[in-house]
Structure 1
Amino acid sequence: MKTINIAGVPEHFNLPWHLCVENGEFDSVGIDLQWTDVPEGTGKMCQMLRNGETDIAVILTEGIVKDINAGNPTKIVQVYVESPLIWGIHVDANSRYKSLSDLEKAKVAISRYGSGSQLMAYVNADNQGWKTDEIEFEVVNTIDGAVEALTSGKADYFMWERFMTKPLVDKGIFRKIADCPTPWPCFVIAVRNEFLEKNIGSIELILEIINNTTREFKDIPSIDRTLASKYHQKIEDIQEWLHLTKWSQKPLEEKMLNKIQNQLFDLKIIDKKGTFAELVKII
């Protein structure tokens, strides 16, 4: 049995992985896949890949593209979720901010530098025609940290996946002002170069197993109820999320990588663009 470490956010997107682990599908091919939940998100997972704390990460596309360009010795081996991530833009329920335009000079809570919550704050600002070099950030680590920061006034707004944040809106802790979808597929599967070079056969098996599950995931009986229960969501919200979410079983295409890098470069999030071979490994 070969032990392989994988990391991802504790969100509904990753339930297919947990089902495969629970059903013994990786065990059946001699792989002990050890999953680590990373509530801090993409910035933390980039650090884990760099430090060898995980072999694989299911990670936000823009975050890992940025970090590979910054020297992370990792490759993207596949798109995991093809549909955009819908980022909700949230303020404290009692905040004086009422509309998106009110947030132009406001301080953003982010999980950490290099995270999706930071990168999408730049994308949103650019969409609104705001000056992206004037954005102020408050690092909060997790969604619980964001609640504390917005409640205490240390930060003014917080961008996080809309459906995972909705329970806080329903409880009257946050108020959602707007949505900001990613202009690219939201999650990819990334593997450390050192591990990939020595274990390409194992990676092929892992991708085959997860792809078989994501192809049929929406057809699993009562999957909406399972998701709603596990992630503390309303059934109607999960049903909407399932309708909007499309998993992928395909590599990241060069045309899409170029689009992502061009936008990150234009926003000054990256200062150089890597080649397709530097960022992607087709398996």
Structure 2
Amino acid sequence: MKNLKIAGVPEHFNLPWHLCIENGDFVKHDIALEWTDVPEGTGKLCQMLRDGETDIAVILTEGIIKDIVAGNTSKIAQIYVQSPLIWGIHVGAKSPFETIDDLENKIVAISRYGSGSHLMAFVNAENEGWDTANLRFEIINTLDGAVDALTAGTADYFMWEHFMTKPIVDKGIFRRVGDCPTPWPSFVIAVRNEVLENDPEAIEKVLEIINSKTSTFKQIPGIDSQLAERYNQKQDDINEWLNLTRWSQTKPDKITFDKIQEQLLDLSIINNTIPFESLAT
């Protein structure tokens, strides 16, 4: 039995992994895949790959590219979700801010540096024509930390996935003043280089199994109800999210990922680009 560790955020995008694990799909192929939920998000996942705490990470595209460029000895093995991630831009319910324009030069709550909430603040600022040099950040670690910071006023706005934060909006804790979709595929599967070199057949089998699940995921009977129950979502919201989400079963391609690096360079998220062969398998 080959033991492998995998980590990702506790969000609806990753239900296909949990179903495969619960159904014993990996064990049938002599792979013991141990999942770890990481509510802190991409910055924490990058650190786990660096430290060998996980072998595989289901991770935001921009975050892992930034970290590989910065020296993380991992590679992107596959695109996991092709569709953009829709980042809701949130303020505290009692804050004076009404529009995205009101947030220029205000303090952004981020889970940690290098996280999606950090990097997408640059994308949003660029979209709005703001000077990214004026961005200021408050580290809040988790979604609960963001609730505390926006409620107390120690941060002014917070960017997180639209549908995962919608229950907090519905409860009147956050207000959403806009959305900011990623200009690239949202999630990829990254693997530590050591694991790619030592266990290539096991990694290929893991990808084959998850691809089989994601290719038919939307056709699973009652999957919308299961998602709504597991992730505390309204069924209408889940159905909207399912309509917007497209999983991928494809390897990274050089043209797309060279372009993403150029976009990140233009945003000053990375200081240089690296060859595609150093970034992806």
Instruction: Give the residue type in structure 1 aligned to 2:266.
Output: D
Aligned residues: 281
1:262-281 map, 5 Å: 262-281=262-281
Letter in 1 for 2:226: T
Structure 2 gap ranges (5+): none
- What does the per-residue CA deviation read over 1:106-157, in whole Å, with 9 as the maximum and x for residues that have no partner? 1000000000000000000000000001100000000000000000000000
CA distance in 2, matches of 1:171, 1:259: 39
In structure 2, the residue matched to 1:176 is 176
Report the AA paired with residue 132 of structure 2: T
Following the alignment from structure 1 to structure 2, what is the Cα–Cα distance between the partners of residues 194 and 28? 24
For residues 93 and 254 of structure 1, the distance between their equivalents in structure 2, rounded to whole angstroms, comes to: 43
Specify the code of the residue in structure 2 equivalent to 1:114. Answer: G
1:199 and 1:218 mapped to 2: Cα distance? 30
Q: Identify the residue that residue 232 of structure 1 maps to in structure 2.
A: 232
| Residue identity matched to 2:78 | Q
Amino acid of the structure 1 residue aligned with 2:255: K
**Do structure 1's residue 89 and structure 2's residue 89 form an aligned pair?**
yes
Aligned-residue offset at 1:259: 1.5
SS in 2 for 1:265: helix
**How many angstroms does 1:97 deviate by?**
0.2
Tell me the distance in 1 between the aligned counterparts of 2:253 and 2:122: 24
1:105 corresponding residue in structure 2? 105
Structure 1 position 240, deviation (Å)? 0.1
Q: Deviation string for 1:64-110 (max 9, x for gaps)?
A: 00000000000000000000000000000111000010000110000
Residue in structure 2 matched with residue 147 of structure 1 by the alignment = 147
Deviation of residue 215 (structure 1)?
0.3
* Separation in structure 1 between the aligned mates of residue 196 and residue 36 of structure 2, nearest angstrom: 19
Percent of aligned positions that are identical: 65
Deviation at 1:163, TM superposition (A): 0.1
Amino acid at match of 1:55: D
Could you list the runs of 4 or more consecutive aligned residues of structure 1 that deviate by over 6 angstroms after TM superposition?
none
Q: Which residue does 2:14 correspond to in 1?
A: 14
Name the SS for the 2:7 alignment partner. Answer: strand
**2:80 partner amino acid:** Y
Residue identity matched to 1:219: Q
Distance (whole Å) between structure 1 residues aligned to residue 125 and residue 103 of structure 2: 9
- Structure 1: where are the runs of 5+ without partners? none
Q: What is the TM-score of this pair, normalised by structure 2?
A: 1.00
- When the two chains are superposed, the root-mean-square deviation of aligned CA atoms in Å is 0.4
Residue 216 of structure 1 is matched in structure 2 by 216
Counterpart of 1:245?
245
* Whole-angstrom CA distance in 2 between matches of 1:53 and 1:7: 9
State the alpha-carbon separation in 1 of the partners of residues 11 and 17 from structure 2. 11
Task: Please tell me the residue identity of whatever aligns with 1:138.
Answer: E
1:172 and 1:119 mapped to 2: Cα distance?
26
